[in-house]
Chain A
């Protein structure tokens, strides 16, 4: 401990600085807690098993969100089924088959960074034009899922590419020194090492997809019936919440319950994905 007594002015300045930092932190935390408790407080009483499985009645004021949950999961499922293989493939292409300075690779990277920042409404209009009209898929769960895939791909590709690049050159040298082919190196060395990055990229994409409204209104549509095939129109949860909150007087209670469900789903997905990643890559556990 230093024995020097600091001058008063300096002590006041330190107190002020501390106060500013704490205020900044509180400004971030308070709205978050407020929002969460608001959703929890207003949504919890309505969130019953009955609500989760029954179809919406009276434009959603009554009844539940059964068909909407099914549509949401189908849309997100299609999105991931398309985005994950395409994303990993493109990321591999960028990190393993083009050099960092290569013109084609650079062009792809710049396009992806621009795409990642494009507003989702633009993706909605694009999806409507391409999938609904040109490809003739109409307002359907398939169109919605494919549009979401286009939307999450940029972020997924860049995250996965970074995790491939992060595999150290030492490991690549070691693999080559053992005579591994490029194929084996990718499959057996790069892939396991990059898996946590793949999971993180997927979660980021999933979060964006689950919460999406604008891109889906124009592609998967508004219909709140239980879908009977992927070619049916289906309403996603986020669209439902938006509709109840903005267009349906008296829909607030169920909008809250829907929002609570959406947040819980995202939390569950996040937690289970990181659990799975930890199990698949035992080496990242702290040694006992």
Chain B
């Protein structure tokens, strides 16, 4: 075991990258090999060999600036719209080569839904917030639209709260309700994968609890990748955990594994130090 270090020296040595643990082929939903994300030519994340299991909740943890959000945004190619951002390496969702230039982004982003830290509802009605993405994906039939919208709102427990004011501005909802609306907006497109970038960190404790319960309720139906700084939340939610650390400003995957193993007997000293609050 290596002693905890100052986080400035490249560690582990560049020759050593944590390899994929053995997983049966059918359980793998997303797989990255030597994934690297850079901004204006400066790497922010490198050599990430990560496996995300189908139907499981995987928490990405680690201090700020270790590239967790960059990794998340490369999974649905959102990195495309960030000026100066480049992603290289391999990234596969099932058989789909995500980073190929001819990847159908509309299809990719329908398969991979995303919810952000700040609830980004659009400045129009609750109904239109849900209807617009459905229309963009070719669903125009009125009865289908209303049924899907109702189902989406029920899924996040918002239906009874807003069914009488679907045409009211979404931005008049409370922060927690807005975040649930964002979740519903992702769910109505029936994705297979959900990316959650600190979905509870901008919410009050009660709303945060509601959203967390919702996420837990989605376990098994979606492959969920959640970035969180709340270790207690990661412990409650995650089936698997991937721990990242920034070495000299460049994020790397230090360790990944089943949540219980990671929290109770991490292999790396750095993981243990971070999880016990000594580092980070």
Contacts and interface: CB of A to CB of B under 8 A. Distances in A.
Interface in B185-208: 185-186, 189
A172 B107 CA distance: 18
Given A170-B116, A285-B169, A287-B169, A179 B109 contact: yes
B109 A178 contact: yes
B25 to A, nearest CB: 28
A181 B133 CA distance: 11
Contacts of A171: 120, 122
B110 interface: yes
Binding site secondary structure of chain B: helix
B124 A178 contact: no
A266 B24 CA distance: 73
Interface string B85-124: 0000000000000000000011111100110101010111
Interface in A131-167: none
Contact of A177 (B76, B123, B124, B171): B76
Contact of A178 (B118, B125, B168, B185): B185
A174 B122 contact: yes
A268 B118 CA distance: 39
A80 interface: no
Interface residues of A, number: 26
Q: In this complex, which of B80, B116, B122 has the most chain A Cβ atoms within 10 angstroms of its Cβ?
A: B122
A177 B114 contact: yes
A172 B81 contact: yes
B169 A174 contact: no
B78 interface: yes
A178 B169 contact: no
A174 B123 contact: no
B123 A173 contact: no
Contacts of B185: 178
Interface in A256-288: 281-285, 287-288
A176 B182 contact: no
Given A173-B81, A283-B170, A188 B106 contact: no
Q: In this complex, which of A168, A172, A178, A189 has the most chain B Cβ atoms within 10 angstroms of its Cβ?
A: A178
B19 interface: no
A179 B108 CA distance: 8
**What bracket does the count of chain B residues touching chain A fall in?**
20 to 34
A178 B133 contact: yes
A99 interface: yes
A180 interface: yes
Contacts of A188: 122, 132
B109 A177 contact: yes
Contacts of A168: 120
A232 B132 CA distance: 48
B163 interface: no
A74 interface: no
A173 B125 CA distance: 19
Contacts of B137: 179
A193 interface: yes
Contacts of A178: 109, 132-133, 136, 185-186, 189
A130 to B, nearest CB: 38
Contact of A179 (B80, B83, B110, B169): B110
A184 B136 CA distance: 8
A174 B129 CA distance: 11
B114 A179 contact: no
12 contacts: A173-B81, A173-B116, A177-B76, A177-B113, A177-B114, A179-B110, A184-B132, A188-B122, A188-B132, A193-B122, A282-B169, A283-B169
Given A171-B120, A174-B116, A179-B107, 15 more contacts: A174-B182, A175-B122, A177-B113, A177-B116, A178-B132, A178-B189, A179-B105, A179-B106, A179-B109, A180-B136, A192-B122, A192-B123, A193-B122, A283-B170, A287-B172
Interface of A: 99, 168, 170-181, 184, 188-189, 192-193, 281-285, 287-288
